[in-house]
Amino acid sequence: MGKHAYVFPGQGSQYSGMGKSLYENNLQAKELFEQANEILGFRISDIMFAGTDEELKQTKVTQPAVFIHSVIAFKTLADAKPDMVAGHSLGEFSALVANGSLSFEDALQLVSIRAQAMQKACEINPSTMAAILALADEKVEEICSEVQNETGEVVVPANYNCPGQLVISGSIKGIEIACERMKAAGAKRALVLPVGGAFHSLLMVPAKDELAAAIEAIHFNKPLCPVYQNVNAKAVIDIDEIKKNLIDQLTSAVRWTQCVQAMVADGASHFIEAGPGKVLQGLVLKIDKSVSAESFAG
């Protein structure tokens, strides 16, 4: 029997109506939604179920909304017994609730602090991200460092999503120059994304200190199974290492391709994505066609 890997999506998978059927059809889910509204001090469930895309796109809403939906979907899966977990960026917090490292309440508070700190960092440094399609990872890395060295602008690989899909992050000018060079080098597309800032780059340093202080103040439990963390794509169960990787994640690349490869190498044959959308299900199958993958949004 292969192992079951539970994976959790990040920012960008939100949609109006997310989690509504869970709220209406499951008492445990309803209680968790109400608990989340209380912790955050506003009715995020109303925005999730009926908000406009604009309302859902505010970072202070997006990150908690995706986290809440993901964790509640996971908790209402009847037979959710993970052998291993991982999350894409923000999804790492959902993964840490799923493997017992963090309580729902504590993780939600951390996610809310992270979202607001990232929002502030974006306002300090106007910046953006771009998806580079159908260009080898090594070539993307090379062009990023060339642009940085020549212009002094920040441009770094940010999300290794699957082979042939790498998102880069940096200053607005740096990303513009890099996109032109990526196309010239043969990228099928170099598409600037509608995000508020350069996540997973050094432009997030202002947010890192705030998140670090919050993480250090929260109690972590011994995990029930390993989490494969974005920063190093390795199975981690040591609490101190988990914390350090969570903090470093803000300014480091999300090594999703490498996480999935490591999970498969360690015996994962069935991936279950819990939360809004089916992005990770698709990425997992692009990374390794030998496994099965499904998604559950409730």
Catalytic one of 169, 200, 252, 295: 200
Catalytic one of 45, 89, 171, 295: 89
Identify the band that residue 2 occupies on the pLDDT scale cut at 50, 70 and 90: confident
Buried b (16+ CB within 10 A) or exposed e, 50-80: ebeeeebbebebbbbbbbbbbbbbbbbeeee
Q: For position 294, what pLDDT does the model report?
A: 96
Sheet containing strand 227-228, strands side by side: 235-236, 227-228, 84-87, 3-8, 268-274, 292-296
Which of 125, 96, 120 lies closest to 109 in space, CA to CA?
Answer: 96
Sign of the torsion formed by the C-alpha atoms of 169, 175, 178 and 183: positive
Q: For position 59, what pLDDT does the model report?
A: 76
CA distance 274 to 271: 10
Q: For position 118, what pLDDT does the model report?
A: 93
Identify the band that residue 90 occupies on the pLDDT scale cut at 50, 70 and 90: very high
Q: Can you name the residues that pair with 156 across neighbouring β-strands?
A: 169
CA distance 244 to 38: 29
Sheet containing strand 127-133, strands side by side: 155-162, 165-171, 127-133, 189-192
Domains and CATH numbers, the chain: 3-122+202-296 (3.40.366.10), 126-192 (3.30.70.250)
4 is catalytic: no
CA distance 45 to 24: 12
Q: For position 20, what pLDDT does the model report?
A: 97
Q: For position 279, what pLDDT does the model report?
A: 95
Q: For position 57, what pLDDT does the model report?
A: 85
Pair 211, 73: CB distance under 8 Å: no
* pLDDT, the chain, mean: 96
pTM: 0.96
Per-residue pLDDT reduced to its tens digit, 269-295: 999 999 999 999 999 999 999 999 999
Q: What's the rounded mean pLDDT across residues 101-120?
A: 96
Per-residue pLDDT reduced to its tens digit, 136-183: 999 999 999 999 999 999 999 999 999 999 999 999 999 999 999 999
Which of the pair, 260 or 80, is modelled with greater confidence? 260
Pair 48, 19: CB distance under 8 Å: yes
Q: For position 248, what pLDDT does the model report?
A: 97
**Rg of the chain (C-alpha set):** 18
State the DSSP code for 250.
G
Helix and strand totals (H; E) in the chain: 13, 10
Q: What's the rounded mean pLDDT across residues 55-62?
A: 86
Per-residue pLDDT reduced to its tens digit, 3-54: 999 999 998 889 999 999 999 999 999 999 999 999 999 999 999 999 998 8
Pair 147, 190: CB distance under 8 Å: no
Q: For position 79, what pLDDT does the model report?
A: 80
Which of the pair, 283 or 196, is modelled with greater confidence? 283
Q: Which two tokens stand for residue 229?
A: 């963390």
CA distance 115 to 108: 10
Per-residue pLDDT reduced to its tens digit, 208-262: 999 999 999 999 999 999 999 999 999 999 999 999 999 999 999 999 999 999 9
Q: For position 60, what pLDDT does the model report?
A: 81
Identify the band that residue 78 occupies on the pLDDT scale cut at 50, 70 and 90: confident
Q: Which two tokens stand for residue 205?
A: 């340093």
CA distance 230 to 170: 19
89 is catalytic: yes
CA distance 2 to 210: 40
